A and B are shown apart, each in its own frame.
Chain A
Amino acid sequence: MLSIPALPRRYHAASIWALYVVGLCPAAWYFYQAATGGLGFNPVKTFEHLIGIWALRFIILTLAVTPLRDILGINWIRYRRALGLLAFYYVVFHFSVYLLLDLQLNFGAVGSDIVRRPYITIGFACLLLLIPLAVTSNNWSIRKLGQTWVKMHKLIYLVALGGALHYVLAVKSVTLVPFIHIAAIGLLLAYRPLRKPFLNWKRGKTRPARPATTT
């Protein structure tokens, strides 16, 4: 089992805040670049796409927390809420850029896109599905909702699937970069039904070895 030095408990809260800051850096950096002419001749589209890809990356990281703990024994569960919220923020940024800078508040065009273009329908549905998850991502909601919270937050699997589909349908051809992101989401989702059998098998393996047949 891989082991990395554990972070002393007193730094946990600070490390989570640091994650938020680091996590928002790509958005800030690309925004600065776009506003100062560093993203080429179609800065709106480029910015929109980069922010979308980062949203997928945070969804991937959110989904990676559990298998990382199961398989490698690295427990980063304390960062999962921040990763999930960062994914939500990036999805909101992504949609805002599309609404404000790309279509420039042409609500007719936005509406017909959402109704008529499957990849935008799916993307928008994912944004809507993320809202209740973001709203209930606090300790009070977790306590209050109990098992319902656990069930409800399984929606992230649907959002991840939708995000991957949105990406596949949006690109003209699936080349290396889309493939890597989609494959990561595919693997992380495929792990979920395998998780129980895997944990059982692992438990069986790590059980103290029975003494060899005695007689």
Chain B
Amino acid sequence: MPAFRPPHISPTEITPRDIYLSRRNFVGTVAAGAGLSVLGGSSAFAAALSASPGPYKLDEKLTPKEAVTTYNNFYEFGVGKEDPSQNSGAFKPTPWTVKVEGMVGKPKEFGLDEILKMKLEERRYRMRCVEGWSMVIPWIGFPLAAILDQVEPLGSAKYVAFETVVRPEEMPGQGGLFQALPWPYVEGLRLDEARHPLTILAVGLYGETLPNQNGAPIRLVVPWKYGFKGIKSIVKIKLVEEQPQTTWKNSNAREYGFYSNVNPAVDHPRWSQATEQRIGEGGFFGTKRVDTLPFNGYANEVASLYTGMDLKANY
């Protein structure tokens, strides 16, 4: 067999670097535009949101918007990372109401209009997934405490329980033979965690209302905990006395705990939590890995919530 001979290409045929790079930019821009128009077509909700810059400055490179909106875990729309962006087109985030009830003086149902009138802030937070990857996301939202204050929790309330909407007709992962989890997805926080100023209800990201795949129209963001604590598309918030059920702990209590604080010293039984991969950086041949920080880098703000607790036992 004759040996392979590389084809002869004259140097003049090779496109100069700056030109092929600008061609990539052009293709990228067009692709992004196409992506946006698809999003715009699928969500009746996408709209610009104005927000004042909030506290907690973060000098880290933001994860590209396209990565934030196409690399998602939202099992209600499928278990693949791209499933939520591809399968959430039929989801209707408007109209929407969030019931806040339980051990409160003034139970209340919040309409989306009222929620969007809250004092919105931009919060740039690190987001660390329990699977070992992370992003930096500019959320728009308001402290969960602002809503809790309005309903006046009773002294006996110790925890806050959250619930995601169940709409199998709009969320393909909630129907069919093989469902990843029992629905509704439920999560919970201790009341002091819920009232912590870092804890927000997000209604947008990157200056716009939340895309369906990111938990439209309203989701929880608790930046010092693993991402799955950030329950999406919330319809119910209930103040309770006992530690509430949480979906992943119910599904596998050995691997997922109630607290789920980001902790590089406590490995997930199936993988190390010492480092994390920054999504959208480095590409195929140069994955960017950074050290995972205790409480995801928010130890100064939140470590005092857990004084005296064994964080290895309360993972």
Contact = CB atoms under 8 A, between A and B. Distances in A.
Interface string B223-234: 000000000000
B284 A44 contact: yes
A70 interface: no
Contacts of B67: 41
Interface in A22-37: 34-35, 37
Interface in B282-311: 283-285, 287, 289
Contacts of A170: 270
Given A41-B67, A113-B272, A175 B277 contact: no
A9 B17 CA distance: 52
A104 B289 contact: yes
A116 B79 CA distance: 26
A51 to B, nearest CB: 13
Contacts of A42: 71, 81, 133, 277, 279
A35 B286 CA distance: 11
A44 B178 contact: no
Given A35-B285, A40-B82, A41-B280, A109 B272 contact: yes
Interface in A165-179: 169-170, 172-176, 179
Contact of B272 (A39, A47, A112): A112
B32 to A, nearest CB: 13
Interface string B55-82: 0000000000011001100010001011
B284 A101 contact: yes
Contacts of B75: 173
Contacts of B284: 34-35, 39, 43-44, 47, 101
Contacts of A102: 287
B271 A173 contact: no
Interface in B179-220: 179-181
A104 B277 CA distance: 12
A46 B83 CA distance: 13
B94 interface: no
A176 B285 contact: no
A117 interface: yes
A173 B71 contact: no
Contacts of B79: 172-173, 175
A176 B178 contact: yes
B178 A175 contact: yes
Contacts of B3: none
B83 to A, nearest CB: 10
A119 interface: yes
Nearest to B82: A40
A40 B71 contact: yes
B181 A173 contact: yes
A86 to B, nearest CB: 22
B19 interface: no
A102 B131 CA distance: 13
A43 B81 contact: no
Contacts of A101: 284-285, 287
Interface in A189-212: none
Nearest to A39: B284
B251 interface: yes
A116 B133 CA distance: 20
A119 B75 CA distance: 23
Given A40-B70, A109-B272, A112-B272, A175 B180 contact: yes
Contacts of B131: 172
A41 B71 contact: yes
A104 B285 CA distance: 9
Give 4 nearest A-B pairs by CB, closest first.
A41-B67, A173-B180, A41-B71, A43-B284
Interface of A: 34-35, 37, 39-47, 101-102, 104, 109, 112-113, 116-119, 169-170, 172-176, 179
